[in-house]
Structure 1
Amino acid sequence: MVKISFQPVTKEREEDKFSVPQPHEQLVPVLQPKKPFPSGLCCLATGLAVFTSGLVLASILIYRHYFVPQVPEDSLFHCRIFYDDSVFAPLRGRQELEENVGIFLDDNYEQISVPVPHFGGSDPADIIHDFQRGLTAYYDIALDKCYVTELNTTLVMPPRSLWELLVNVKRGTYLPQTYIVQEEMVVTGRVRNMRQLGPFIHRLCYAKETYRLMRRRNQRHRIERRQAKKCHRIRHFENTFVVETVICERF
């Protein structure tokens, strides 16, 4: 009889196996793979910064060009004119008119600012004479209304001539005549399309009630005093004499 026997086989568990590092062995750290640098994000941020800077610069240039016109100092004048009012105040003696004038030779227009006068009977106003479009705009500050009419080149000097006149007045080599000329205007209707007036008048009259004016052809009959309450006067200097523009509603 044959006897068969089996030797017991013992398996070592993997968790029971460990090795003790020898003194001469060095521990090598496990290096994690580096994430790639987001170069696309960097380019996008740089592009946005350049675009924003360009947008800010363009906004500043547009604002300075369209809203804050830069005028050379030799084209800005402060005028004080003395004249005789023989129409409404013949006994008051000489009257004084004060205004600021800006002459834009390159754009061919003039801008006049008349503050509140020392005497009564005239409204403060801002005036633009656009020789390129042949238009004049009066912004009556007291009424907060704009009035537009055809440019009267008989009364208004062109920019170059007015500039030369004011330079001579400033130097004291010429004194303007001291009489007054009156022009009578009547309101004919409301202006709806402001862009047709050009950029300079559009800027002056933007968001304001704007009306068209027609010049009275027959200037022989003066406006009666009983009608004065329906009319407004703006006195300004833009020639060798003072001009009084009388703006009246339809009677």
Structure 2
Amino acid sequence: MVKITFQQVAGQKPEKEKDGDKAEILIPCQHEELVLPLRSKRSPLSGLCCLTFGLVVFMSALVLASIYVYRYYFIPQQDPEDNLFHCRVLYEDSIYAPLRGRQELEENVGIYLKDNYEQISVPVPHFGGSDPADIIHDFHRGLTAYHDIALDKCYVIELNTTIVMPPRNLWELLINVKRGTYLPQTYLIHEEMVVTGRVRNMRQLGAFIYRLCKGKETYRLKRRGSHRRIDKREARNCHSIRHFENTFVVETAICEEA
């Protein structure tokens, strides 16, 4: 039951209180039932799936973080001696293989990860037919410079990333084969370049190539579209440098304009 009482409004004269002055109205009130929402029961299988998915995501993030730390923190902190390699590789020249058999190429490799460049020194080869050279692959500038020691001239060309491994990849390759003296036996490929003109402004080549070619005649090169066999007349104006910055050996023929 609900009890409602009417009281006298303020400002009216008070009258004698009588038992019947107060009007009371009683209204019956129905009892309301309070209904609480029921929680749906979750299957134990769905909880197990969520837990498994969370573990997979966590382990994947952990693996990716480990790879990132190794490649971008641990490798650059290596001892400088770990960035210098003395390598010898055995390879076969498909043209002269029946006559000479397997040949050997020796070179010193310096890999500078922070500065993003490679420096290669090729001594005088034992078999001849190739010039000793110092080579720089500057990945920051996108340039390659060859210093032909026999001619004491420098040649500059755009970096060929299909042949030259990036510093980090080459470093990992040489670290993996450091247990032995020789790289796995490999093969030889040929590339041919032609001189296009003299370089006047050496500083535009970057600090590393500038240091290599300072005080030397320096020329620009361009690649010939397709490799062709060099005849005897052209061979007089061509000089070859054999080197490797990958899993194969490259013979770079540098030819003067006719």
Report the TM-score when normalising by structure 2. 0.67
AA of the residue aligned to 1:150: E
What CA deviation, in whole Å up to 9, does each residue of 1:198-244 have, x standing for no partner? 0000000000000000011122x221233211100000010000000
1:158 corresponding residue in structure 2: 166
90 and 153 in structure 1: CA distance in 2 versus 1, 3 angstrom threshold = farther
What is the SS of the residue equivalent to 2:236? helix
Identity across the alignment (%): 80
Give the one of 122, 132, 138 matched to 1:124. Answer: 132
Q: Which amino acid aligns with 1:112?
A: I
Counterpart secondary structure, 1:188: strand
Q: 2:100 is matched with which residue: 92, 95, 98?
A: 92
Q: Is the contact between residue 87 and residue 183 of structure 2 (CA under 8 Å) also seen in structure 1? A: no
- In the other structure, the counterpart of 2:257 is 250
Q: Output the amino acid matched with 2:239.
A: H
Q: 2:241 aligns with which of 231, 234, 240?
A: 234
In the alignment, structure 1 segments of 5+ residues that lack a partner are 1-70
> Which moved further from structure 2: 127-136 or 165-174?
165-174
Aligned length: 180
Secondary structure in 2 aligned to 1:176? strand
TM-score w.r.t. length of structure 1:
0.69
User: Offset at 1:250?
Assistant: 1.1
Residues of 2 paired with 1:248 and 1:89: CA distance? 24
Distance 1:173 1:201, change over 3 A: closer
In structure 2, relative to structure 1, the CA distance for the partners of 1:173 and 1:229 (3 Å cut) is closer
8 Å Cα contact 1:176-1:241 kept in structure 2: no
1:97 deviates by 0.3
- What is the alpha-carbon distance in structure 2 between the residues aligned to residue 90 and residue 122 of structure 1? 19
Look up the equivalent residue of 1:242 and give its one-letter code. V
Task: Please state if 1:198 is matched with 2:206.
Answer: yes
SS at match of 2:174: helix
Unaligned runs of at least 5 residues, structure 2: 1-78
Counterpart of 2:113? 105
Counterpart Cα distance in 2 of 1:172 and 1:207? 39
- Is residue 89–residue 185 contact of structure 2 (8 Å, CA) maintained in 1? no
> Could you tell me whether the CA contact under 8 Å between 2:88 and 2:183 is conserved in 1?
no
Q: Is the 8 A contact 1:84 1:90 kept in 2?
A: no
Contact 1:182 1:245 in 2 (8 A): yes
Whether the 8 Å CA contact 1:168–1:174 is kept in 2: the answer is: no
Higher strand share: 2
Structure 1 residue aligned with 2:196, among 160, 182, 188? 188
After superposition, what is the alpha-carbon deviation per residue over 1:95-131, rounded to whole angstroms, capped at 9, x for unaligned?
Answer: 1100000000000000000000001100000000000
Alpha-carbon displacement from aligned partner over 1:35-72 (angstroms, at most 9, x marks no partner): xxxxxxxxxxxxxxxxxxxxxxxxxxxxxxxxxxxx80
CA distance in 2, matches of 1:112, 1:131: 14
Aligned Cα RMSD in Å? 1.6
Q: 1:90 to 1:195 in 2, by over 3 A?
A: farther
Q: What do residues 122-170 of structure 1 show as CA deviations (whole Å, max 9, x unaligned)?
A: 0000000000000000000000000000000000000000001111111
1:167-202 Cα shifts (integer Å, max 9, x gaps):
111124994341101110000000000000000000
Between the aligned partners of 1:248 and 1:88, the Cα distance in structure 2 is: 21
Please give the secondary structure, in 2, of the residue aligned with 1:162.
helix
Task: Give the Cα separation in 2 of the matches to 1:170 and 1:118.
Answer: 23
The residue aligned with 2:154 is 146
